[in-house]
Structure 1
Amino acid sequence: MRKEDDFVVCRCENVYYSDLLEIMEDGANNSREIKLKSRAGMGFCNSRTCGPLLEAMTGDNSNELPHYVHLKSQPPLRTISLLDLARGNNDD
């Protein structure tokens, strides 16, 4: 049962703040582990929305620790229909 003050951190994968806290209590100590265990940051936006909060929760937002690789985010690809793909239409 979710608490009244709980909120969605990752809208793409519907991950709640309480879920992330439970994962951290189970031993995840960086945002990459949280991402892999909760799927937060693996949705359509590729952690552009929830990534900064994940890094702030774990303290991974500082550049002082060289052993950590920051969460990767990339822009979504433009969709193409199968019909355009079959015709070979590439307007780029």
Structure 2
Amino acid sequence: MTRRGKRRTRGTKRRKRRELVENLYKVGQFFAAVFIVLLLIAAIALAKGYEKDANQAAEYAYYSLVIGVVFLLAATILEEKNDQILG
């Protein structure tokens, strides 16, 4: 393989890593937004007296928050690792 081919491979890997980090951030942000919406729904349901439904919505909201935080944490770790590798 020529040197030129190796450069393209490195550039492609860097671009794919960047895209992966960006996608992880987007997915994490989506789940964080879902958390907020579900928590608002839980608050409204509780205000209207639907305690059982409010508790269930709040439970799903916290699951969504955990998933979002995991994705955002993974994106942050990969981003820092990429910065160290690329120098």
**Common fold, TM-score beyond 0.5?**
no
* Structure showing the higher strand proportion among its residues: 1
Taking structure 2 as the reference length, the TM-score comes to 0.26
Pair member with larger Rg = 2
Q: Which has the higher contact order (CA 8 A, sep 6+)?
A: 2
